[in-house]
Amino acid sequence: MTLFQSILLFLPLCFVICFFSTAMRKRDLGEVTRGSLRLFAYMTLTIVAVCLVLHLAMEWLLAD
Amino acid sequence: MNVGLVLGVVTVALVGIFATTASPRQRNGVVLAWLFPGLGHFYLGERKRGLVLGGMIVATFLVGMILADFRNISPFDRHPTWGIAHAFGGLMSGLAALLTKGLLISRENPFYNVGCLYSGVATLLNILAMVDVWDLAGAKAKEPAEDAPEMAAAGTEATS
């Protein structure tokens, strides 16, 4: 499985989880969609940032 | 200690608490939500919400099955651990397990584990849908009827 395929498969599942976690707190579906999109963006950015930091740290550790 | 025994005792205790503390509306709603995703919301009159949440669960479950070549719902043979998660899918999981029972893994599929994850997460999300039904049923029971203030006002006028 390539990195592109992994990302492609991760994003929809991440969105569904974000949607459900937002739906538990809000009644209006429009509000749920907006909230879940915001959460999805934050969550994806956080995961990408953490992965990038881990990747760079491992690269630095393994360089010696 | 036997894990199955612990899980059994916990399940029986939870079902006991559920059966004794829930209102009939909550009980029926949660059981229907467990039977098929979204059905509990329909029962409470939240059709749009039921359609969206139930549709998302069913779609995620089906995508998982497609990714795993329809061989990932096998609670008694291949995936007893995922089977615990699939138990929350109700009829959807039962039907899927029944229909794909005879299928064997005949090729290397790189997406198999992703498919297991998708279907497992979908059925676990049904727990959240069931909790949502419980909350909605509880909130609806607490809401006063729309004409209650008018009736109360009419009552005070009549007495004075």
Complex ipTM value? 0.83
Tell if the CB–CB gap between B125 and A29 is shorter than 8 Å.
Answer: no
Mean pLDDT of B71-89: 88
Contact list in B for residue A8 (CB cut-off 8 A) is none
Give the DSSP per-residue string, B54-91: HHHHHHHHHHHHHHTTT----TTTT-HHHHHHHGGGTH
Tell if the CB–CB gap between B129 and A20 is shorter than 8 Å.
Answer: yes
**B61: nearest CA in chain A?**
A13
Tell if the CB–CB gap between A29 and B48 is shorter than 8 Å.
Answer: yes
Residue numbers of chain A with a pLDDT score lower than 70: none
pLDDT at position B56 is 95
Task: Give residue-wise pLDDT tens across range B33-66.
Answer: 999 999 999 999 999 999 999 999 999 999 999 9
* Chain A interface mutation, best of B47, B51, B52, highest count of A Cβ atoms under 10 Å: B52
| Tokens at A29, concatenated | 């579906």
Q: What pTM did the predictor assign? A: 0.82
The alpha carbon of B85 is separated from its chain's Cα centroid by a whole number of angstroms, namely 11
- Chain B nearest-CA distance from A35, in A, is 15
**B131: nearest CA in chain A?**
A24
- Chain B nearest-CA distance from A61, in A, is 30
Range with the poorest average pLDDT among B3-12, B31-40, B109-118: B3-12
**B46: nearest CA in chain A?**
A27
Tell if the CB–CB gap between B121 and A29 is shorter than 8 Å.
Answer: no
For the CA atoms of A7, B59, B40, B14, what is the dihedral angle to 10 degrees? -50
Burial of B138 (0-12, 13-18, 19+ CB in 10 A): middle
